[in-house]
Amino acid sequence: MTEFRIECYQNEFLPRHGQVMNAVVTVTGTGTGSAGAMAMATDTERSELFIVDASGSMSGKKLRAAKQATSAAIDCVPDGVRFGVIAGNHRAALMFPGYRGGRPDLAVSSPQNRTSAKTVVKGLSAGGGTAMGAWITLAAETFGDAPGIRHAILLTDGKNETESPDELDAALLAVEGAFQCDCRGVGADWAVAELRKVATALMGTYDIVAKPEGLEDDFSSMMRAALSKRVSVGLRIWTPKLADVVLLKQMEPQLDLTSTRVDVDPLVGEYATGSWGDESRDYFLSVQVPAKEVDEEMLAARITLVVGGQPGEQGLVKAIWTDDVAKSTQMNRRVAQAMNEEELADVIQEVVDSFRAGDLDSATNRAGRAVRMAHEAGNEDVLERLSKMFEVDDRATGRVRPRRNVDDVDVMIIETKSTRTSRTAKPAPEDP
């Protein structure tokens, strides 16, 4: 049986005049591969698009690897799933199956159609610039009003230089929430901020594939992971009058969902979180509430899971005002962890920005702080990544020295993965 649970972690107490209540909301789904989940999203209620960068910078080894990776991912598409292939440079073209009646179309997966799609992919050539907004717009037109889960994989190796940032922003705003898109950058010449922006608007993931030869395994595993996600889930958040959700962020991978709100009524907003399999995700929620008198209590937020379009389990975020400093300053361990990860991610971005600007002293000082924070948090993944750029002499004090001849790819990996760890499920720690 498919089951989705919600848990809220917080310190309910606010100091006198306090107006910001923070909480971590953990959502866990189980049984999504069961018959019940299959009924929510069968293979005939799923559409997949492969968006392949075919700009001039992809020529040679990268394009050959991209073709192999896309073909391998196409082989993973089950019979009955609608799918297509878009090639993008300074324009976008639906290479397979093409257009019907002048409109972009999708093919129904079958052995014959998968073979035909791979033949088209094999014939792709590289040339021109990069305009991701055009690719995304065509993807939304191709999906159209297809029922069920709409998912895309986008691969690029470069920056969005043919379009202005405003044009990309406008394209994303126009299609926000229309489909889910997992983004991958190959090599070290693309912009993390751009793919992060695309992934955030389209409820997907973003990551780096350091070497072209890693694309095939990455695409295949990403395709299998996407196909295992059969249930669409949303967070419907109610707040009382004069209260507002000021931040809603998925913790790993980090996606800011605040701007994706769709108003249900003046007090209720819904936030799409994409499709789910058997997994657990953490969300950092910050709500601004009107200040109350000491000992007054209010419900700051009610979070309702919307699973397959149906309201489900609820979680509550409360606020109680107190003059007891011990109560109001006691931080819930899960909330503290989330806030520390957020701060660490900011510091790591400062390290990368300073390094690229040639300010090695600032980069080293900030790297020392990041190492100290990661050590205190027990985040071995971050420590290992930072060691690619800096010799770590003392983790506890954050004493580091810059390495010589740092590889650009290692810098990209640090920026892309930020505070991400290899944990698949975080234990629910008890409050101190």
Question: 174: which residues sit within 8 A by CB, 6+ positions away?
Answer: 137, 140
Measured in degrees and rounded to the nearest 5, phi and psi for residue 305 equal -75, 135
Question: 363: which residues sit within 8 A by CB, 6+ positions away?
Answer: 351, 352, 354, 355, 402
The confidence score (pLDDT) of residue 240 equals: 96
Cα(403)–Cα(406) distance, rounded to whole angstroms?
A: 6
Helix or strand run (H / E) with residue 366 = helix 360-377
Question: 357: which residues sit within 8 A by CB, 6+ positions away?
Answer: none
- The residue to which tokens 């093919």 are assigned: 107
Q: Are 185 and 156 in contact (CB under 8 A)?
A: yes
Q: State the burial class of residue 387 (Cβ atoms within 10 Å of its Cβ: 0-12, 13-18, 19+).
A: middle
DSSP tag of 258: G
Cα(59)–Cα(56) distance, rounded to whole angstroms?
A: 6
Of 48, 42, 217, 66, nearest in space to 155 by CA: 66
Give Cα 104 to chain centroid, integer Å.
27
The confidence score (pLDDT) of residue 33 equals: 65
In order of their start, the domains of the chain are: 3-38+231-241+254-326 (2.60.40.3670), 43-227 (3.40.50.410), 335-417 (1.20.120.1690)
Task: Decide: helix, strand or coil at residue 89.
Answer: coil
- The residue to which tokens 């760890």 are assigned: 421
Give Cα 308 to chain centroid, integer Å.
20
The confidence score (pLDDT) of residue 420 equals: 61
How do 399-402 and 390-394 pair as beta strands? Answer: antiparallel
The confidence score (pLDDT) of residue 422 equals: 40
Task: Decide: helix, strand or coil at residue 280.
Answer: strand
The confidence score (pLDDT) of residue 419 equals: 60
The confidence score (pLDDT) of residue 375 equals: 95
Average pLDDT for runs of 10 along the chain of length 432: 92 94 96 53 75 94 93 94 96 95 94 97 95 97 92 93 94 91 91 90 89 89 88 95 95 86 95 91 96 94 94 96 93 90 92 96 97 93 95 96 94 83 41 42
The confidence score (pLDDT) of residue 32 equals: 79
Range 323-337 burial, b when 16+ CB lie within 10 A, else e: eeeeebeeebebbbb
Handedness of CA 286, 292, 295, 299 (dihedral sign): negative
* Prediction pTM value: 0.84
Q: Are 257 and 284 in contact (CB under 8 A)?
A: no
The confidence score (pLDDT) of residue 142 equals: 97
Of 179, 231, 177, 271, nearest in space to 4 by CA: 231
Task: Decide: helix, strand or coil at residue 243.
Answer: coil
Alpha helices in 228-265 (DSSP H): none
SS3 content of the chain, % helix, strand, coil (to 5): 35, 30, 30
Q: Are 372 and 397 in contact (CB under 8 A)?
A: yes
Of 124, 100, 205, nearest in space to 417 by CA: 205
Cα(168)–Cα(92) distance, rounded to whole angstroms?
A: 14
**Complete DSSP assignment for 191-212:** -HHHHHHHHHHTT--EEEE-SG
